[in-house]
Structure 1
Amino acid sequence: MKYFGEGLSEKHKELSRIIRKPSMLEQAAQLFLEIHASLHLSRISGTQPNEVDALLSDLTDSEYAVMPSGRDETIAWVLWHIARIEDLTMGILAAKGNQLFNEEWQKRLNVSITDTGNALTDDEIMLLSKNINTAELISYRNAVGERTRKIVRELDSEALKRKVSCEDIARIRQEGGVTQQEESAWLLDFWGKKDVAGLLLMPPTRHVMLHLNDCCRWKQEIRTKKKFFRS
């Protein structure tokens, strides 16, 4: 069921159709930025209030740390997960630069992990969700989103066709972006098979759409149900 992003799937299909066409570089960049703006707080793009504003504007700290069912994670985990993945893939793989996350961010966020959280157990997800500084989590995601928009504005058609390099994939492992666990390490194989255009079509767009849809569903359940799997 759709809880978030009505119409975004159609826009994403159009982006997929045009993103590798050199003659449509400007249109593809603008469409990416339009989709991306819908997936971050409106102040990141200077647009009208959107669904992300509505999702996050009135969440309490306790609501960030609720697993509605045994199939679910938490809103805090999702925001950490999508921000870390966007940071790693855009900063290191797409821009061939650096991730924003560092020791200072780790201290501000009050987290012990540096990876994307793919392999965390339910207990570990709950620990992360209860300890993380949610205001700093939003600040970190905002910074990642702003940097992604800058990167995309500077890409040309040749850059979009560039394959992800083995050296940059290795950097993500070395910098603690993934762990050795199978549930985490598979990301490197997945990203390593893509070009920059392929990266833009997944981590900062499609991937986020799916996770924010879950968060909107969970928020509704948190506010209407009395019993949860973990809280």
Structure 2
Amino acid sequence: MKTSDVLLDAHSRVQEVLHDVVTGLDDKTLATRPNDTANSIAWLVWHLTRVQDDHLADAGGYEQVHTADGWYERLGLPFDAADTGYGHSADQVAAVKLSADQLLGYYDAVHARTVEFLRTVTDEGLDRIVDRRWNPPVSLGVRLVSVIDDCAQHAGQAAYAKGLLS
């Protein structure tokens, strides 16, 4: 098994969880927060998708699906196009009101672009530095694991929130 195969498998598992969580939920349920400081399913899915899109586009040297494919306009959220949700306030979380079709459409578009990129990843390429703002600088391998970790955690949180709301 190649490194890219392992990474593709990890991302496909996130996709499966998201489809299980989001499919069949109405807009109200997606936007409901278990309490006033909690994240909604819609925010969690939008945020993990934004992080994956932002971080992998940067590492892969391509334009984000969010802007390249018009998802910024289609989602119509009141945030800057570069916003990934990091550090959002409770009011900003509450502003994320998206349908299942919007959430899964954007996620699946990002996932498809992720698959294209990950098929190009080689063992040798994992040591390439992709972010020098950190000490130590972040390698491609570390960035890829970080994105998978973030996505898996938020997908699990969305599944938990769905259980709370059921």
Q: Given residue 86 of structure 2, which amino acid in structure 1 is its aligned partner?
A: N
Residues 128 and 139 in structure 2, CA contact (< 8 A), matched pair in contact too: yes
Residues 78 and 95 in structure 2, CA contact (< 8 A), matched pair in contact too: no
TM (normalized to structure 1)?
Answer: 0.64
Measure, in 2, the Cα distance between the counterparts of 1:32 and 1:155: 9
TM (normalized to structure 2)?
Answer: 0.87
SS class of match (2:14): coil
In structure 2, the residue matched to 1:209 is 152
Structure 2 residue runs without a partner (length 5+):
none
Using CA pairs under 8 Å that are at least 6 residues apart, name the structure with larger relative contact order, 1 or 2.
Answer: 2
In structure 1, the residue matched to 2:51 is 85
2:2 alignment partner, one of 2, 17, 27 = 27
Measure, in 1, the Cα distance between the counterparts of 2:146 and 2:48: 11
Structure 1 residue runs without a partner (length 5+):
1-25, 42-50, 167-187, 224-231
Question: What do residues 44-92 of structure 1 show as CA deviations (whole Å, max 9, x unaligned)?
Answer: xxxxxxx433212221111111110345211111111111111111112
Number of residue-to-residue matches in the alignment = 163
SS class of match (1:164): strand
Residues 49 and 106 in structure 2, CA contact (< 8 A), matched pair in contact too: yes
In structure 1, the residue matched to 2:35 is 69
Cα offset for 1:111? 1.1
In structure 1, the residue matched to 2:65 is 100
In structure 2, the residue matched to 1:221 is 164
Measure, in 2, the Cα distance between the counterparts of 1:189 and 1:163: 11
Aligned Cα RMSD in Å?
Answer: 2.1
In structure 1, the residue matched to 2:15 is 40
Residue identity over aligned pairs, in percent, reads 21
Residues 57 and 63 in structure 2, CA contact (< 8 A), matched pair in contact too: yes
Question: What do residues 203-223 of structure 1 show as CA deviations (whole Å, max 9, x unaligned)?
Answer: 1x1111111111111111111
Question: What do residues 146-201 of structure 1 show as CA deviations (whole Å, max 9, x unaligned)?
Answer: 111111111223321100145xxxxxxxxxxxxxxxxxxxxx648x8310011111
